[in-house]
Every structure is written in C-alpha cells, then in structure tokens.
Amino acid sequence: MAITQIAPGIHYVGVNDRTTTRFEGLWSLPQGVSYNAYLVVGEKVALIDTVEEAFGSRLEANIREIIGDRKVDYLVVNHMEPDHSSSITALRRIYPDLQIVANAKALQMIEGFYGLCGNTVEVKEGDTLDLGGKSLSFRMIPMVHWPETMVSWCPEEQALFSGDAFGCFGALDGGITDSEVDPERYWDEMRRYYAAIVGKYGAPVQKALQKLAGLEIRSICPTHGPVWQEQIGRVVDLYDRMSRYEGEPGVVIAYASMYGNTEQLAERIARELAAEGVRNIRIYNLSYADPSVVLRDIFCFDTLLVGGPTYNAGLFPPVAELLDKLAARCIPQRRFGWFGSFTWAGASVKLLGEFAQKMKWETLGAPVEMKQGFSPKMYDSCRALAHDVAEKFHGKA
C-alpha cells in the first residue's frame, strides 16, 4: 500500500509549511501548519483543494508519485482562501483540461483572484460527481469561515473532505492519520486555530455540524492538521463545544501594565483566587502574550478578568486590541471582572465596564481601581473581587 493512502483510492498529497511565521499575516505558527490536499482516484481522478502556491511543485510531485502521467480530471475547491487555492493557476498549466468543480460563490472568487473562468463545473447542495468507482457529493456549509465553504463526501469510503472545519495548526511530523501521530499534540493547536480563525462563526459551525450529523464518517480529511479516523468523536465534540462558546470552569486574567503596578493587581487577584480554591487560572501579560493563545484560553474558560492602566485618557493599547478581538468574535457569554489604574484621571475601569455592558456579559464583583502605585491598601479590593469570582466558580453565588 502506498504510504500516502489514507483509505482505498484516497491519497494525501498535501504539504507542510515550517517557514511561514504568521498565518494570515497574523497568527503565530510555532509548530508550523499543513496545507492538506487529497487525491481521489477512480476511473477519473479528482484533486480536492490545493496548497499554498510556494509549495505548488511539491504538490505536483506528490500527485505524480500516485498517478504518474495520468491527468487530473477535476479539481474540487471546497474553500477558496488562497492557502488552499493559490496553486490553481499552476495546476491549470500542468493539466490544461482540468475542470474546476466548485459552487457559484467559489467560482466567482476564482475568477476574481486568478482570472480563471473557463472549464468549470458549478455544483449545488446535494450534487454528485461520478468518478467511476468513487463519487463525491457536495454539501454547502457557508461561513465556516468564508461564504463559499462546502464539504465533499465520498460515500464509498465514508470520507468527509471538510475544508477548514475540524482543522488545526501544527505541521504533520511524519504521520498523516491520527493513528500515526500523538493526537495529544494537536488538541491545543485545534483550539487555538478555532479561536483565531473560525471563532466568529459559531452559529454557522453549529448549522454545519447539524447538517453533517447524519453521516457515518470513517475519515475526516480537513485542510489543516491530521486526518481524523480514531478520534472523530473527540474532534466533533471539540468543535461543537467551541462553537457553542461553552467555557469550562476556569479564569483567564489578561492584563497589561506600563510600570508593573497593574501587574501587581493581576498577581494579587490570582493569588487570592488560588487561595479560595480556584484552579485553572491562566495569566497573560497582553504586551507579550501570543494573542492566539490568549483567545484560545478565553474560548476554553468561562471567566475572564481584564486589567490595564489608563493611557491617553483611554484604554492601554494592548488591552484595547484584546477587546476588539473579543467583540469581533461575538462571544455571547463570559463571566467578566475587571481592574485598572490611573495616575491623574481614570478611564480604563470605566471603559472596561462599558465593554462588559456592550457584550451583555455577566459581571462579577466590584471592579478594582487603583490610583498610582500598588500598595497593601489594594489588598482588600483585590480579595473582594477574587472572592466573588471564586463564589461563582464553586457554584455558591
């Protein structure tokens, strides 16, 4: 059996990227990322998605390893974002008769991005492509996380080509399927990927999960990360919980500090929380923390405490940036507490309170506001806020 085969007649032809440092120009890739593409070989050959264009020659070599000089008949574009589509132009040069199979929105984007419009097959919900011995049917899952997103289903092998859905950061270190890797390595990277990339689109992800719920899936073949075969239940459950915005009991304390005084508030509140038996506390200094890691943990835990100094009569920029990211992701509910500082005129505590109101989040305790430097006189207010958070944590309030 070819080492690329993940199911009879289905081969992995994707690549690893261990050089790009910022996914979408934004998100860190400490463990790299894979761009997954798949070849479905029947009497006809279909390629499902492509790879980032810098890796196009590797994609071609991977395809040729499997089918030699046979041609690729179809390219199915489940998702048009360029990390998966930017090799289309090169593929068209290599396989001039290649028919591009996509929905109307994706075809419009393919023309807009690459100027390609001929030799296309437009598909709609439920349409089937017969490859001879294998087939693919298409289901639309709009806004997971672009409007054109769809999945392809191969009923003969019960394989779901899911696009970014069920994807995760982290390159593939040799193994392709989850039975060939240590899956533990990928869970945090899946949460981080979800929070950073898909996080705004909880409702469309829920709709997609409902639409796909009836399928007896043996392989989930996403566009990033391992092919899931043994851990399908856990993967679906993780996406379900993340897209419901359900946080488990735990507290993220996200703060920024110019001279260490607000930082001491954060440390003190955290210490009081721990003394009250709160576990799962994560503290992040927003001037230095990786934003995708902070977002990941805010998605994972049910309580968020944010603090920062007043700056230019407003929020300190790293704090403002976090709030922007949270508002953009439309997180419907978190327990929220806040703290802040000022030297001559306070603004950050007031503005954090307005943020909580705008998000319609449940607020906890009295906000802690500090004038100028940290001192023992702040202990009582830190303890009081921590106590109210702990009461909720323990289910007493």
Q: What residues line the site for ligand FEO (CB under 6 A)?
A: 79, 81, 83-84, 145, 164, 223-224
Minimum CB distance to ligand FEO smaller for 79 or for 191? 79
Minimum CB distance to ligand FEO smaller for 142 or for 346? 142
Minimum CB distance to ligand FEO smaller for 223 or for 262? 223
Minimum CB distance to ligand FEO smaller for 166 or for 374? 166
Q: How far is the CB of 198 from ligand FEO (least distance, A)?
A: 8
How, if at all, do strands 33-35 and 15-17 pair?
Answer: antiparallel
Give SS3 for 301: strand
Question: Taking CB positions, which residue lies at the least distance from ligand FEO?
Answer: 81
Q: How far is the CB of 77 from ligand FEO (least distance, A)?
A: 12
Minimum CB distance to ligand FEO smaller for 228 or for 336? 228
Minimum CB distance to ligand FEO smaller for 169 or for 299? 169
Q: Which residues contact 381 (CB under 8 A, 6 or more apart)?
A: 366, 368, 369
How many other CB atoms are there within 10 angstroms of residue 332's CB atom?
Answer: 12
CA distance 175 to 4: 10
Rg from Cα positions in the chain: 24
Minimum CB distance to ligand FEO smaller for 198 or for 269? 198
User: Which two tokens mark 13?
Assistant: 């032809």
Q: How far is the CB of 332 from ligand FEO (least distance, A)?
A: 23
Minimum CB distance to ligand FEO smaller for 73 or for 148? 148
End-to-end CA distance of the chain: 60
| Contact predicate 74/44, CB 8 Å | yes
Q: How far is the CB of 109 from ligand FEO (least distance, A)?
A: 12
| Contact predicate 39/10, CB 8 Å | yes
Q: How far is the CB of 206 from ligand FEO (least distance, A)?
A: 18
Give the residue among 296, 307, 295 at the shortest CA–CA distance from 385. Answer: 307
Secondary structure (H, E, C), 195-217: HHHHHHHHHHHHHHHHHHCCCCC
Q: How far is the CB of 85 from ligand FEO (least distance, A)?
A: 9
Give SS3 for 209: helix
Q: How far is the CB of 201 from ligand FEO (least distance, A)?
A: 11
Q: Which amino acid is at 280?
A: N
User: ∠ CA(314), CA(302), CA(363), 5° rounding?
Assistant: 50
Q: How far is the CB of 142 from ligand FEO (least distance, A)?
A: 13
